[in-house]
Amino acid sequence: MGASPSSTPSPPVASEASVEVSQSGISTCGLTRILLTSRLETTDLVIFGASGDLARRKIIPALQTLDGKIKGLRVLGAGRSEMTTGAFRQLVAEASGNDRLASTADWIQLDYKSQDGYEDLRKLIKKDRSVVFYLATPPQTFADILAALNASGLSGREAGHRIVVEKPLGQDAQSARKLNAQLGELFSEDQIFRIDHYLAKDTVQNVLAFRFSNSIFEPVWNRTMVQSIEITAAEEIGIGNRAGYYDRIGAVRDMVQNHVLQVLALVTMEPPATFDPADIRKAKLELLRAVEPLDPDAAVRGQYQGYLNEDGVDPDSRRETYAAARVQIENWRWDGVPIFFRTGKALRRQSTEVVVRWRDAPQLAVAGRKQRPIPTLLVIRIQPDEGITLRIGAKRPGPRFEMVPAGMKLEYRRLARTPLPDAYDNVLREVMAGGHTVFPGGKEIERSWDIVDPLIESWESDGHPELYEKGSWGPGAADDLLAGRAGDRWVNSGDEPGTA
């Protein structure tokens, strides 16, 4: 028989080495070694797809924070675009604002399947340098790039060589396992970095510090005290110019399989043995193995009105732009606790947050009149306006005993000595240092697909999504998931404290 919730294992002690204050002034778990590193080893960063949108907007700008901390950091761009080295250096200068970094950059034009360009790349890489291969390309190119790296002698388990791959990591569990096998043939697990930029956000990393460094929360973080948990990942914008990608993928593959389930794991996992990346990965994987595959009968799919009129979208598309579901975790800590998530595009406001709702206190009988208890909520805001709010009930000042909602609010930006780093700043720092705190392991990816695949298969074979208005909170059917439980409605970003 397992231990009772009140006797769950004690969290690891937050020692100076495990939980410290980063340059941003925010507690982090396992990142301090990286964030405070003054100078790292000499590195060549090879970006496949370096002329693309992701490289321009996220990867190259993040290199500005690394320059000076990595001896001789050099960027090598590789891709199919017809571009001169001079033009690529201009791109790097504009994207990073760093002329020194741009002056040492090189461009290699290549077909991902052809060996010719890879031979040119091999000649540019010196043997005494650490090499990071960053695949900022569509997932259908991964196999070709991996095969060409192997054939040209650029892959292997040599010390310092690493590979970074962006989501989506597969289309389903089968393809994810195939990709992991392909990566594993050429690189060891500690050389592979699978990007989930949500994990690199300071606020997501701080979930572990918040849970396990504050002793008042662990005793009430279980099925005995928690009534429900909600995870919201809402976007105001529609699909923009990503129709070709999004109409193939949809909300579940784009957000749930990775971001949502990773946040869920951090919020609900057992205390890791230590804050080392391997122990954190182990605790997350154990939690994900306890999550039941998603039930189509406990899920809602939606599509915003006007989606079919977006350029590049199939006019008969049934692709979901919104997904919500009830999640069940079959373990001692969370048995019977309803956990809900929702994610979508063209919603009322940009908001990613976690809401932990504790069980209501008994009704208060004051002066012969019963008062409905004020819900006790913990809201962890991941973006925007990063922070934590504890919503409680308090007596209104005055002679009458009247309960009103009140909130205690922590704003991360007020703690920070410098602006909060972008997630990709943290991603690249950890890659260069060889750490894995902000990267899910291959087994986590595979298990996440096992969880979402039944829902995807059901939706792709039957029915149509419910339409919802742009600027709303999504389909009305999503409210029915919570009906009769968990407070009866979602806690929406912007709600006043205690009004949920």
pLDDT in tens, 275-300: 888 999 999 999 999 999 999 999 99
Q: What is the mean pLDDT of residues 311-330?
A: 96
Q: What is the mean pLDDT of residues 332-338?
A: 96
Quick check: helix, strand or coil at residue 500?
A: coil
The per-residue pLDDT of the chain, averaged, comes to 85
> 339-344 and 226-234: which strand pairing?
parallel
pLDDT in tens, 442-463: 999 999 999 999 999 999 998 8
| Phi-psi label, residue 328: left if phi above 0, alpha if psi -120 to 50, beta otherwise | beta
pLDDT of residue 260: 97
Structure-model confidence comparison of residues 478 and 11, the more confident one: 478
pLDDT in tens, 129-186: 889 999 999 888 999 999 999 988 888 776 568 999 988 899 999 999 999 999 999 9
Q: Which domains does the chain have, with CATH numbers?
A: 42-194 (3.40.50.720), 199-418+465-482 (3.30.360.10)
Q: What is the mean pLDDT of residues 394-402?
A: 81
pLDDT of residue 429: 86
Amino acid at site 4: S
Whether residue 7 is predicted with pLDDT greater than 50 in this model: the reply is: no
Whether residue 499 is predicted with pLDDT greater than 50 in this model: the reply is: no
Whether residue 105 is predicted with pLDDT greater than 50 in this model: the reply is: yes
Q: Which among 490, 493, 448 is positioned nearest to 199, based on CA atoms? A: 448
Are 234 and 326 contacting, i.e. CB atoms less than 8 angstroms apart? no
Residue 408: burial class (beta carbons within 10 Å; 0-12, 13-18, 19+): exposed
Whether residue 230 is predicted with pLDDT greater than 80 in this model: the reply is: yes
Q: Catalytic residue numbers? A: 259
pLDDT of residue 443: 96
Structure-model confidence comparison of residues 31 and 381, the more confident one: 381
Structure-model confidence comparison of residues 126 and 371, the more confident one: 126
HSE of 64, CA atoms in CB hemisphere, 13 A: 15
Nearest-5° angle of CA 212, CA 214, CA 218?
Answer: 60
pLDDT of residue 24: 35
Q: Which among 83, 59, 57 is positioned nearest to 73, based on CA atoms? A: 59
Structure tokens at 311: 């350029």
Structure tokens at 26: 């925010």
Tokens 């973006």, located at residue: 383
Q: What stretches of 7-160 adopt beta strand conformation (E)?
A: 19-21, 27-29, 43-48, 74-79, 106-109, 130-135
